[in-house]
Structure 1
Amino acid sequence: MSMKSDTTVDRRAQIQTLLNEQGVVNSQELAERFEVSLMTIYRDLDYLQEQGVAKRQHGGAVSADRFISPLKRSLRESQNVEAKRLIGRWAAEHLVNQIDDSLIVDSGTTTLEFVRALPDVPINVMVNSLDALSILAIHKNTNVYALGGELRKDVMAFEGAITTDNLRQCHFSKAFISADGIDLEAGLTTTNEQRARLTRLMAEHAQEVYLLADCSKYGKRSFRTFFHFDRITAVISEADVPELYKQHFRQHDIRLIEVSDDGK
């Protein structure tokens, strides 16, 4: 539908309204909608980015409120702690075969709570997080493996070419992963290209993939998509997952487990 505007100010205000309502806009669609050139739309989006309203991305822009930038490790660890503990504890109690299992766990803060809750039983667990390694080091019965490679000191996790080469030699029954953002269009996203590549590979080398995510991640997107929802076996969240996402999971036969304070 054409929405030709008389002035640049009007057009930019309407684009901002679309961003607030939809969270994302496409440059080509905007050009057609307002009957202007792509270069004009690019200038509009550049302006909105300078104003802190939008974040430019390939093909358009997303709302700045919807875009997740990298956070300091201490800040990430302090956010939604109780929800992360609830999710991690439930997953450790209900999704791990305590007699014979092989797990790969990523370096997210929610998956770290999963590691904290793991029982000391004879299973194989591989991690790329130094924090997870230190937790598992006291386990007497668990076989613990480190991926190794280049240490990212901002998140205290191994990533990079050596890490992915090591991972390619291994296979797991289950992967437990997290995401910086969960978006219906973008899928599962993260702020770092190396982490995106590593998480994607973890899923490829696991028979089942479990996403552990608190509700603050829904409707958000970050720099890089690592895969879409069709790769997920189940999603474990606390209650109050947005209804739009519940419908999406049902339509794509993805099991959603909403964990409450009573552990159900």
Structure 2
Amino acid sequence: MSRRELIQRRLLDEGSVSSAALAEEFSVSLMTIYRDLDYLQTLGLAKRKSGGAVLRQRFFTAEQDSEDTPNIQSAKERIGHYAAHHLVDGKEGAIIIGAGTTTLEMARALPDLPINVMANSLAALGALSLHQHTKLYALGGELRKDIMAFGGTMAHANLKTYHFSKAFIGIDGIDADAALTSGNELNARLTELMAEHAEEVYLLADVRKFGQRAFRHVLSLSQINGIITDQEIPKPFLELCEEHHVQVMIADSTNKED
């Protein structure tokens, strides 16, 4: 394992590192450690501070996801397009698409296939309503006006009566210890049920979500089949995915038009 990978591990385990201590531990100069920390900062894992670095956004709040930049929006579009065109075909029995900004991009990019599609987001339902061949189903239940998606006990009861070949979900954070996490209890429970009633589960998440943790555990890596993201993920997370037999798919700009 390289020095930078070991520093990543330290950040994930302890939440902060000291430049001086790292320089002494690895017998390198402070300038070398500064370059290592700068590199980790570009990955979105670390935030430089005087004397070292801290793990960037150790705890995630749902409001943070609403502050998307054009680059982040582009990443979500690529992820959604990849999932829609590489993981869904006309042979699917039924799929379910969870609520979220990245899963919404998948709904918008989904080809008009003769399959059953269920969604709980009003925006996703609106996009899919333009299809001529897709059989579209709304999850139903209480409409949560904060995210314009269905939830609550009625939605849970409805969901338990269905079975899906694939579920496409989003989350707020992917943590090396807590796995997949959410900042919203109601959405977390709905996501758990989607996973329980699907043969395969795919997570759509941009690279910012790696190394973040929200307060509610949703699923472990062993409960999903694949992750679609927008660029190479940090090595510790890649190793965790390999350990749990989770396929990692990169939706970069070169395959947007596939």
Choose the corresponding residue for 1:66, options 52, 55, 58: 58
Moved over 6 A (4+): 18-21
**Secondary structure of residue in 1 paired with 2:90:** coil
Q: Deviation per CA, 1:99-119, whole angstroms, max 9, x where unpaired?
A: 443101100111111101001
**Secondary structure of residue in 1 paired with 2:59:** coil
Q: Deviation per CA, 1:138-165, whole angstroms, max 9, x where unpaired?
A: 1111000001111111111111100000
Equivalent-residue separation in structure 2 for 1:99 and 1:66 (angstroms): 41
Greater relative contact order, per chain length (Cα 8 Å cut-off, separation 6+): 2
- Checking the alignment, whether the CA contact within 8 Å between 2:89 and 2:113 is kept in structure 1 is no
Q: Identity percentage over the alignment? A: 47
Bigger radius of gyration: 1
TM-score between the two structures when normalised by the length of structure 2? 0.76
Count of residue correspondences: 210
Structure 2 residue 69 is the aligned partner of structure 1 residue 86: no
The gaps in structure 1 that reach 5 residues or longer are: 1-17, 25-61
Equivalent-residue separation in structure 2 for 1:245 and 1:261 (angstroms): 22
Match of 1:192 in 2: 184
Structure 2 residue 160 is the aligned partner of structure 1 residue 129: no
Equivalent-residue separation in structure 2 for 1:246 and 1:258 (angstroms): 12
The gaps in structure 2 that reach 5 residues or longer are: 1-9, 17-53
Equivalent-residue separation in structure 2 for 1:161 and 1:79 (angstroms): 37
Equivalent-residue separation in structure 1 for 2:110 and 2:117 (angstroms): 10
Match of 1:45 in 2: none
Match of 1:222 in 2: 214
1:79 deviates by 7.2
Mapping of residues 20-59 of structure 1, within 5 Å: 22-23=14-15
Match of 1:116 in 2: 108
Change (3 A) 1:19 1:243: closer
TM-score between the two structures when normalised by the length of structure 1? 0.74
1:97 deviates by 1.7
Q: Deviation per CA, 1:192-250, whole angstroms, max 9, x where unpaired?
A: 11111000000000000001110000000112111110001111111121111111111
Equivalent-residue separation in structure 2 for 1:91 and 1:73 (angstroms): 20
**Secondary structure of residue in 2 paired with 1:97:** coil
**Secondary structure of residue in 2 paired with 1:175:** strand
- Letter paired with 2:221: F
Cα root mean square deviation, aligned: 2.3
- Checking the alignment, whether the CA contact within 8 Å between 1:176 and 1:210 is kept in structure 2 is yes
**Secondary structure of residue in 2 paired with 1:210:** strand
Equivalent-residue separation in structure 1 for 2:150 and 2:218 (angstroms): 17
- Letter paired with 2:181: T
- Checking the alignment, whether the CA contact within 8 Å between 1:89 and 1:113 is kept in structure 2 is yes
Match of 1:205 in 2: 197
Which range moves more in the overlay, 95-104 or 248-257? 95-104
Match of 1:166 in 2: 158
- Checking the alignment, whether the CA contact within 8 Å between 1:76 and 1:109 is kept in structure 2 is no
- Letter paired with 1:120: D
